[in-house]
């Protein structure tokens, strides 16, 4: 076997060990708590924290921003990488991406979904499929991402388990195929019936859920003796599911026709170990990835990857800028010089890091499926493709249509340099879209966002990271359309319209309402007014 063939086989072997997935759901369903519990079960951390936990419990490792800890919500996505598997045996490499659940930050969630091979959808046992949950299901289905569903908070009162399965089937079009089934109704979580082997896994609660919940495995006969009617009911319901064909089939799962289901309580660490095992055994490893022309790019080709997230402010001691890349093919080696497909310019990867929340350590090599943080990546932007040897470009990352707009001004003119630095940084990260109009000038840029909470995040970061307190003046616009240089002069003269230039050079026409847009389109069909991707993730 040639040296090249050995290298290609090594890439395939390493890619086969990788499982790269996102945790997604509606706000408050427990994503960050589950992320922490997964890290705990993989023994990456020694004790789990929870944002909403008792006094004295620390925050979760993935919610590292001050605002996240204060509010108890995820504002930005976070990447965690760790190994998981039997002691002394082959371990899988887990690349776990936690995402913000709030709809105002859906653009960040969408970017993360471009970088994963599977998704774990968290459903609140009491609330079922909520609005944001449905939007994210739709995105996963559209992108061909297999979905594993976790019914969380089963230790609290909630819906009937069979009713939840019906809701998932009716509203998503995916057939739920439970791998585990709860013993005890919602609020009386004793353990689960493992439908794969018929055994009973009994959980014992730990203080505050800060440590791994002890688990005992019993036979069906032992379970009946211990749990009586609760076990008999679980067996009866499991048999009913089998009669209706709700049994896991790996091919149907990978074809996005079914969704395996697990029951858990992330805050108590119940059922979390089973989820890790399922991810390792059932979630797909990285595969050939379509390039911008739709042609699959071989996973064993020379290194390539794309930037799906840019984040500054993670290291309070330095003003560094971290670009998260998803490795798509080949071997990444720290120090290698790669090419940015967008600019054609070289980029040196001297400072490459593995990320665990806010904590980072230098990484020497990475393989398809891995997430690598490139430091001091000022020249990289979201959606950029990096490659070595063989040129390739991956599809650009979608930019959503903003629906809220505000003029930004510095509260202290002596801090103008910091003001400009902060504006440029937040725009480069995609925290906000930064627009400039001739009417207002460079000194009064416009923040354009999907949801108003993004204004709060931007203002907080401007003040606390860049020392540039700002004021925001809301504008009356609600709709944005992409236009061109030929149409811009005529649009600028129209009533209730303003033309602005985005930081990437794109021209946007802003309208106060749908009526104003409709009138202009009917009377001026020759103007270029291209819709942007809706923020609803639909």
The helix (H) or strand (E) run that includes residue 407 is strand 404-410
Q: CA-to-CA distance for 132 and 68, rounded, in angstroms? A: 19
Q: Kindly report the CA angle at 79 between 47 and 395, in degrees rounded to 5?
A: 165
Annotated binding site for GTP: 98-102
Q: What is the largest CA-CA distance in the chain?
A: 80
Q: Considering Cα of 195, then 200, then 206, then 212, what sign does the dihedral take?
A: negative
Alpha-carbon distance values, 397 to 6, 19, 155, 344, 533 (Å) = 33, 22, 39, 18, 11
Annotated binding site: 98-102
- 174-190 as b/e, with b when 16 or more CB fall inside 10 Å? bbbbbbbbbbbbbeebb
Answer for the pair 64, 78: CB distance below 8 angstroms, yes or no: yes
Burial class (CB in 10 A: 0-12, 13-18, 19+), 194: middle
Answer for the pair 150, 120: CB distance below 8 angstroms, yes or no: yes
Q: CA-to-CA distance for 42 and 273, rounded, in angstroms? A: 8
Site of tokens 């930005």: 76
Instruction: Find all residues with CB under 8 Å of 441, minimum gap 6, and list them.
Output: none
Q: Considering Cα of 325, then 40, then 105, then 471, what sign does the dihedral take?
A: negative
Tell me phi and psi for residue 430, to 5 degrees.
85, 10
DSSP string, 304-365: EEEEEEEEE-SSTTS--EEEEEEEEES-EETT-EEEETTT--EEE--SEEEEETTEEEE-SE
Q: CA-to-CA distance for 217 and 236, rounded, in angstroms? A: 20
Answer for the pair 395, 139: CB distance below 8 angstroms, yes or no: no
Q: CA-to-CA distance for 321 and 313, rounded, in angstroms? A: 7
Answer for the pair 168, 176: CB distance below 8 angstroms, yes or no: yes
Token output for 362: 């230098």
């Amino acid at each position: 076997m040639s040296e090249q063939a050995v290298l290609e086989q090594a890439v395939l072997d390493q890619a086969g060990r990788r499982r790269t997935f996102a945790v997604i759901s509606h706000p408050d369903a427990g994503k960050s708590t589950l992320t922490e519990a997964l890290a705990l079960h993989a023994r990456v951390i020694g004790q789990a924290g929870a944002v909403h936990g008792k006094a004295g419990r620390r925050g979760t490792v993935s919610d590292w921003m001050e605002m996240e800890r204060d509010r108890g919500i995820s504002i930005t996505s976070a990447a965690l990488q760790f190994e998981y598997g039997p002691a002394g045996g082959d371990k899988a490499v887990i690349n776990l991406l936690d995402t913000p659940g709030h709809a105002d930050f859906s653009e960040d969630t969408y970017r993360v979904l471009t970088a994963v091979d599977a998704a774990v959808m968290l459903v609140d046992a009491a609330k079922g499929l909520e609005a944001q949950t449905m939007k994210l299901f739709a995105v996963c289905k559209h992108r061909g991402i297999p979905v594993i569903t976790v019914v969380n908070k089963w230790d609290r009162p909630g819906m009937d388990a069979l009713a939840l399965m019906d809701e998932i089937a009716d509203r998503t079009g995916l057939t739920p195929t439970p791998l585990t089934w709860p013993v005890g109704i919602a609020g009386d979580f004793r353990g689960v019936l493992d439908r794969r082997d018929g055994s009973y896994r009994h959980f014992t609660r730990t203080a505050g859920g800060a440590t791994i919940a002890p688990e005992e495995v019993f036979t069906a006969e032992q379970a009946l003796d211990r749990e009586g009617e609760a076990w008999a009911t679980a067996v009866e319901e499991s048999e009913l599911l089998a009669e209706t064909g709700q049994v896991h089939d790996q091919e149907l799962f990978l074809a996005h026709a079914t969704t395996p289901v697990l029951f858990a309580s992330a805050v108590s660490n119940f059922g979390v170990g089973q989820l890790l095992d399922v991810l390792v055994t059932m979630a797909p490893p990285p595969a050939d990835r379509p390039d911008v022309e739709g042609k699959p790019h071989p996973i064993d080709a020379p290194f390539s990857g794309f930037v799906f997230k840019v984040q500054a402010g993670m290291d309070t001691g330095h003003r560094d800028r971290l670009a998260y890349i998803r490795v798509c093919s080949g071997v990444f080696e720290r120090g290698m010089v790669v090419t940015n497909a967008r600019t054609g310019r070289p980029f040196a990867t001297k400072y490459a890091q593995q990320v665990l929340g806010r904590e980072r350590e230098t990484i020497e090599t990475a393989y398809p499926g891995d997430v690598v943080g490139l430091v001091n990546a000022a020249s990289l932007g979201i959606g950029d493709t990096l490659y070595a040897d063989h040129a390739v470009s991956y599809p650009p990352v979608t930019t959503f249509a903003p629906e809220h707009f505000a003029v930004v001004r510095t509260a202290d003119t002596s801090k103008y340099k910091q003001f400009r630095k902060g504006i440029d940084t937040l725009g480069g990260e995609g925290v906000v879209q930064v627009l400039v109009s001739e009417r207002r000038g460079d000194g009064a840029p416009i923040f354009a966002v999907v949801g108003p909470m993004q204004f709060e995040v931007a203002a907080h970061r401007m003040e606390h990271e860049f020392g540039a307190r700002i004021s925001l003046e809301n504008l009356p616009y609600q709709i944005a359309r992409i236009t061109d240089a030929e149409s811009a002069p005529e649009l600028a003269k129209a009533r209730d319209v303003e033309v602005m230039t985005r930081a990437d050079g794109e021209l946007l026409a802003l309208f106060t309402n749908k009526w104003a847009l409709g009138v202009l389109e009917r009377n001026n069909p020759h103007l270029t007014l291209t819709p942007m991707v809706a923020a609803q993730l639909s």
